[in-house]
Structure 1
Amino acid sequence: MKTLSVPLSVLLSSLSLFQTSPGHAQEIVPFTPKDERKLLGPRYEGRLVPLAPMNHKSEAGLEAEPLVFIHGSQGSIKNFTQLLLNTPKFTDYQLYYFAYDDLHRSLKRSAGDLALSLLKLKVQRITIIAHSMGGLIARETLNTLSRAGHTEHLPEIRVISVDSPWQGGSSINCKHKGANLDDMVEYFMPAALTDMRSCSDFFQNLYNVSWPDQFSMELYFAQHGTQALDHTEAPINRLPAKIASLFNDNTPMKGSLYEMNFWNALSTSSQYPGFVNELSALHEHQKITAADVSRLLEKHYPRFPGDHASVLKTHPQAELDLPKYLQTIL
């Protein structure tokens, strides 16, 4: 992949982050939306920016696997500062940052930009750590690559999604979706915000693409905050009871847009088979309760200390936080 020429002091600072150990790294200096725009392509398309030296090799002397960070709405590389500084395992990777317009460019187009950028890497395996809205872009990227066909030639791609709003954004006035007035409202909304509506065309097609076996997505959440909902928070906290009914009585899964969007994300994640296997084993001996489902959701879809933003940071008082967990799974 061609290295981007980026005349930004902030990026030059981050380029040297891992020339020494993370413990000696410099904290990323303030990074503004204006800085982000300078990283975009000539038509404001999203681009991959290398954070660590290109051609970085692992301790075994092999070409390092790419690891890509994707921020969420109104975010930047600065959101990952503590994660970068406190996850020594990152030194085994060639690090990239996906810079994109998180307001005016549609999520589908940003996903297309990322898909093309990943293909240019010409590697066998790629790991993506995506926060918030970045998880939706990463998922649509896998969809885009899958739709293109010839999946046997695609790399193995592992997505680690952190506190992504799988339920979608606002569902206000979604019952009027497709009406002339609603179409007019969407026309004047920024493209990314239009896609974030739980009833958007983007969400209606987000979960219906089959992936090849080499694609996987893991879902993790923050213990606090409501930007990205989990099974413990209204209005999707009735989902555990509905999952119990699905197993006990074969009751079809039905619910609100939020519930169905979230359920579709769970049921297509890489953790889902393990979750189902444990539920099935439990069901052989007893009737499953909502509490049983909640306990297994907590086990297979962990929630880490912090809120939507601080989940990316260290939490020294916690037995396990996101940086510590990434050390065990990367």
Structure 2
Amino acid sequence: MKTSLSVPLSVLVSTLSIFQGSPAQAQGIVRYNAKDERKLLGPRYQGRLVPMASLNQLADDNSEPMILIHGRSGSVNNFTQLLSSTPRMTEYRLFYFAYDDLHRSLKRSAQDLALSILKLRTSRVTLLAHSMGGLIAREALNYLAKNGFAENTPSIRVISIDSPWQGGTSAGCTHKGTSVDRMVEYFLPAALTDMRSCSDFFQNLYNVSLPEKFSIELYFAQHGAQALDHTEAPLNRLPAKIANLFTDGTPMTGTLYEMNFWNAMSTSSQYPAFVNELSAIHEHSKIAARDVKSLLEKHFPRFPGDHSSVMMSHPSKDLDLPKYLQSIL
């Protein structure tokens, strides 16, 4: 990848035009609305990769691709400040995954993403996914792994930012599978149906064994309730449960939120290092909830800001998400 920038990124981002014409002719990322976004989709709301042509002038054709994936009710606009604060991102060939985050199911959007990745014909690709985009990225890995594509895929690194691994609402989940529940899901938009914590999508999201060439990293915002972490109710009992699991072998059980989050965390690429440090503590003393909390903060960092502002620069903080990405990309 290139190591120098010929144009100040802050200037470049501020002068980009909105998307024009077909996806292959996309020119930039500055303000546009949902109607403009729909023009980028394929037939039946099919998700597509859009080359970010203006930014790609800073990378050569051999640079590793990076795909930006927005969350619910989001757009490529959500990444503008992150791009301006993280120069290393423009050393990649940048693509934006345009998809319908309401009418198309997360599973189908994930399949669109997976098939688009196969068409890139590259050895490595990074997915930078915010919020619901992280769930789509994870399901895309599942699709590639369970449909026999794994051997022919590139190495894929997913960096998920404040994704709701616990699921969305759990309202009515006690009636899951009943005729009333089926009627409710029939009238819900497809993506919102999948976001229910008891949905078929969530029940199968963590059941696929991923090859070593796939990795997924979980990062969170310090504030906001859209995507929960281990410090927030109803997930703040997890550290004690994890301590009991590793100290006494007590099986992990809990609510839908707790189990969804635990399954996401325990299948992440950060989990093995987390376990190794817990095991080292256990050799000398009983693991306490405070030990688990400390290691969760270390291995699953939370950055300044809320669900949206976490992707912005926070100059008053020693470390924020842009600074962290600049160090790990």
The TM-score, its normalising length taken from structure 1, stands at: 0.92
Quote the offset at 1:149 in angstroms: 1.0
Q: What letter is aligned with 1:29? A: V
Structure 2 counterpart of 1:37, one-letter code: R
- State the partner residue of 1:161: 160
Report the residue type matching 1:26 in the other structure: V
Determine if contact 2:13/2:80 at 8 Å carries over to the other structure. Answer: no
Counterpart residue identity of residue 96, structure 1 = F
Q: SS of 2:122's equivalent?
A: coil
In the superposition, relative to structure 1, how do residues 145 and 56 fare at CA in structure 2: closer, same or farther (>3 Å)?
Answer: farther
CA deviation digits over 1:295-330, x for unaligned, max 9?
A: 000000000000000001110101011110000000
Contact (CA 8 Å) 2:221, 2:304: kept in 1 or not?
yes
Sort the Cα spacing of 1:150 and 1:45 in 2 relative to 1 into closer, same or farther, 3 A.
closer
Q: CA deviation at 1:56?
A: 5.5
In 2, Cα distance between equivalents of 1:29 and 1:250: 52
Q: CA deviation at 1:208?
A: 0.3
> Could you say if the C-alpha distance between residues 24 and 128 of structure 1 is closer, same or farther in structure 2, counting changes exceeding 3 Å?
same
Asked if the contact 2:56–2:90 (Cα under 8 Å) also holds between the matched residues in 1, the reply is no
- Map Cα deviations across residues 260-319 of structure 1 (whole Å, 9 max, x no partner): 000000000000000000000001001111010000000000000000000011101010
1 CA distance for matches of 2:55 and 2:241? 49
1:154, distance to aligned residue in structure 2 (A) = 1.3
2:110 equivalent in structure 1: 111
Map residues 142-161 of structure 1 onto 2, 5 A cutoff: 142-161=141-160
- Can you list the C-alpha shifts for 1:48-67, whole angstroms capped at 9, x where unaligned? 00113598575xx7701100
Partner of 1:188: 187
**One-letter amino acid of the structure 2 residue matched with residue 176 of structure 1:** H
Q: For residue 158 of structure 2, what is the amino acid of its counterpart?
A: V
Please list every run of at least 4 consecutive aligned residues from structure 1 whose deviation after the TM superposition is greater than 4 angstroms: 53-58
Partner residue, 2:37: 36
Q: How far apart are 1:103 and its partner, in Å?
A: 0.4
Deviation at 1:210, TM superposition (A): 0.6
Superposed, 1:191-206 pairs within 5 Å as: 191-206=190-205
How big is the shift at 1:151? 1.8
The whole-number CA distance in structure 2 between the counterparts of 1:42 and 1:149 is: 26
Please give the alpha-carbon distance, in whole angstroms, between the structure 1 residues aligned to 2:122 and 2:191.
Answer: 29
Query: 2:184, 2:190 → 1: CA distance?
Result: 11
- Work out the CA distance in 2 between the residues paired with 1:43 and 1:174: 29
1:26 CA displacement: 3.0
Query: 2:140 matched to which residue of 1?
Result: 141
TM-superposed deviation, 1:252: 0.3
Query: Which whole-Å CA distance do the structure 1 matches of 2:156 and 2:75 have between them?
Result: 22
Verify the 8 A CA contact 2:70 2:130 in the aligned structure 1.
Answer: yes
1:93 aligns with 2:80: no
Q: Is the 8 A contact 1:53 1:94 kept in 2?
A: no
SS in 2 for 1:160: strand
Where does the alignment leave 5 or more consecutive residues of structure 2 unmatched? 15-28
Report the equivalent of 2:296: 297
2:292, 2:69 → 1: CA distance?
31
27-36 vs 70-79, greater mean Cα deviation: 27-36
CA distance in 2, matches of 1:90, 1:246: 39
2:50: which partner in 1?
49
Which residue of 2 is the match for residue 234 of structure 1? 233
Residue 20 of structure 1 deviates from its aligned partner by 2.5
Could you tell me how far 1:152 is from its partner in structure 2?
1.9
Equivalent position amino acid for 1:248 in 2: T
Matched residues, number = 311
SS in 1 for 2:205: coil
Aligned to 1:21: 8
- The amino acid that maps onto 1:257 is L
* Aligned partners of 1:55 and 1:63 also within 8 Å: no
Q: What secondary structure, in the 3-state scheme, does the structure 1 residue paired with 2:160 have?
A: strand
Inter-partner Cα distance in structure 2 for 1:62 and 1:115? 21
Alpha-carbon RMSD across the aligned residues, in angstroms, is 1.5
When the two structures are superposed, what TM-score results if normalisation uses the length of structure 2? Answer: 0.92
Task: Evaluate the alpha carbon distance shift between residue 55 and residue 232 of structure 1 in structure 2; reply closer, same or farther with a 3 A threshold.
Answer: closer
Q: Tell me how far apart the structure 2 counterparts of residues 72 and 99 of structure 1 sit (CA, whole Å).
A: 11
**1:248 aligned partner:** 247
> Matches of 1:193 and 1:55 in 2, distance apart?
33
